[in-house]
Chain A
């Protein structure tokens, strides 16, 4: 449980650091942050951030999955699920 929690935090921190340069308004990032609505970024920029995540974790995240994701928490969960499936 503790291990998963820690890993979860690492993924969350990785995403936060990648979103940092796009977070022009300095919104506080939490699991509930709506990536497109709260950070006011466009859908193409989100796809590009996901590309960095893919290379970082050596996984492929389908566009179909990304289009269903709204919040940072959902993205964290999707990454864990895909890491498990593709490892």
Chain B
């Protein structure tokens, strides 16, 4: 009995919110996939506008062929850790390809993006002499990496290099290693870090910078290397982490670096050693998507065109947006109840977006997170804009009545 009491408060709160909600936003089942931007949910075709499929490569023909071929030639799973029997030639090759694409000397592939951050942070920083400094809005896997590390962890204000500077200045001289963790683009609001300023502050204090480009890889920079490329500081980032489950349309993760010591992680990072390696199909799909991104800028261009269209339309409709033009366009709502209502209304209009409520969001805001894809067609975007037009009219009506 005592084991479950702690869940009761949250369960009751969720039950209250769901009681007034025709659909449950947290247990939507995509009954049938119709392509990168469409799915059947409860018998109705909807436009997917709440994914991380930024470049729209999940149904790309070459990637599907390569993944199918990999299953036939290398089997359905590796059944082992990278550290034991789970490293195939394809895992090694993908590490080389990623390092080359990003311009780093070294790269290690993990089984998920979550584990890449968990594995890098927990292995790099160790108590009692190392300190980790993290942006307040960092993803849960960065917080969890700190916890697994056990090293002293200090938060600084979101996207505020001065706040980091102050905290680095306060550190005792006994501190040995200092690891600063930030993200390129933040997944919930879509806001972008001033990476150049963070690099300067971190290095001024002799700290290493770990940059998570999970959501910005393939999307930012002239070659799709991320926010650090756009900021002109890619070669100054100490540890670059990323994932296969967004622009690379597969599942897996990686850490890249110019520090040869990165290789130490292969025998010291628990999330690398004590889990099975990515399956051959996942590796083949990610490798093919990477080759596609390396040779073709058109998807990135389409993504940004689509992002501009949606951002302009939502601005004109009067929505309060969480960031400037980018692949994530989040609309702020007044409270949880209004966000649930708005989410349901969009589903009725045939549009799926992500509902995000506190404490999973910064500053206790309730948002509808929309993500744009290069695969969104004009027709997809028309449906999205129509649905949000209806929503804005309903919110205006509701406001007029109160």
Q: Is the CB of A51 within 8 A of B170?
A: no
Q: Is the CB of B167 within 8 A of A43?
A: no
Q: Is the CB of A42 within 8 A of B167?
A: no
**Measured between C-beta atoms, what is the minimum distance from B318 to chain A in Å?**
27
- Checking A42, A59, A63, A85 against B155 with a beta-carbon cut-off of 8 angstroms, the contacting residue is A63
B157 CB–A CB distance under 8 Å: yes
Q: Which residue of B lies closest to A37 (CB)?
A: B9
- Checking A47, A48, A86 against B170 with a beta-carbon cut-off of 8 angstroms, the contacting residue is A86
- Checking B155, B163, B167, B364 against A45 with a beta-carbon cut-off of 8 angstroms, the contacting residue is B364
Identify which of B32-40, B146-154, B196-204 touches chain A.
B146-154
Q: Is the CB of A58 within 8 A of B153?
A: no
Q: Given A51-B157, A62-B154, A64-B152, does the pair A45, B170 have CB atoms closer than 8 Å?
A: no
8 further interface pairs, Cβ-Cβ under 8 Å (given A51-B155, A59-B170, A63-B146): A44-B364, A55-B166, A58-B166, A60-B154, A61-B154, A62-B153, A62-B154, A64-B152
- The complex places the Cα of A48 from the Cα of B158 at a distance, in Å, of 11
Q: What are 9 A-B pairs with beta-carbon distances under 8 A?
A: A42-B364, A45-B358, A45-B359, A48-B363, A51-B136, A51-B157, A60-B154, A63-B146, A64-B152
- The complex places the Cα of A52 from the Cα of B266 at a distance, in Å, of 39
- Checking B153, B170, B359 against A63 with a beta-carbon cut-off of 8 angstroms, the contacting residue is B153
For chain A residues 26-70, which have a beta carbon within 8 Å of chain B?
42-45, 47-48, 51, 54-55, 58-64
Interface residues on B, range: 10 to 19
Binding site for A on B (CB under 8 A): 136, 143, 146, 150, 152-155, 157, 163, 166-167, 170-172, 358-359, 363-364
Q: Given A42-B358, A58-B170, A59-B170, does the pair A47, B153 have CB atoms closer than 8 Å?
A: no
Using Cβ atoms and an 8 Å threshold, which residues of chain A touch B155?
47, 51, 63
Q: Is the CB of A42 within 8 A of B170?
A: no
Using Cβ atoms and an 8 Å threshold, which residues of chain A touch B358?
42, 44-45
Using Cβ atoms and an 8 Å threshold, which residues of chain A touch B153?
62-64
Q: Which residue of B lies closest to A22 (CB)?
A: B364
**Measured between C-beta atoms, what is the minimum distance from A19 to chain B in Å?**
14
Q: Which residue of B lies closest to A52 (CB)?
A: B157
Using Cβ atoms and an 8 Å threshold, which residues of chain A touch B166?
55, 58
Ranked nearest first, the 4 interchain pairs of A and B with the lowest CB-CB distance are A42-B359, A44-B359, A63-B153, A62-B152
Q: Which residue of B lies closest to A61 (CB)?
A: B154
